[in-house]
Amino acid sequence: MNGLFQASLEEQKPIVIMYITEDRVITDRNIIVRKIHLEYIRAYCMKRGGLRTFKRENTLAVAKPKKRREGYA
């Protein structure tokens, strides 16, 4: 998990996180990490269109985005 956060920060490329909100709703977010802290990640959220803070304890999974195939929408 930490490796993908660090790679997103250094390369300024998006990653996908599965996150559980304070209301206990599970959501997928495409983010670009801006700062890494011990207890949270500060990142640009493409879904919300702005900077957001994500608690590490609420992050369920982290992955690279799926590559789009040529010729597919």
pLDDT, tens digit (0-9, with 9 covering 90-100), for 18-65:
999 999 999 999 999 999 999 999 999 999 999 999 999 999 999 999
Residue 52 lies in a domain: yes
Residue 69 lies in a domain: no
Residues 46 and 52: their CA atoms lie apart, in Å, by 10
CATH of the domain at 57: 2.30.30
What's the one-letter identity of residue 66? K
Residue 68 lies in a domain: no
Residue 70 lies in a domain: no
Question: What pLDDT score was predicted for residue 72?
Answer: 57
- Give the count of domains, the chain: 1
Residue 71 lies in a domain: no
What is the band of 16 on the pLDDT scale with cuts at 50, 70, 90?
very high
Residue 17 lies in a domain: yes
Q: Which domain holds residue 41?
A: 2-63
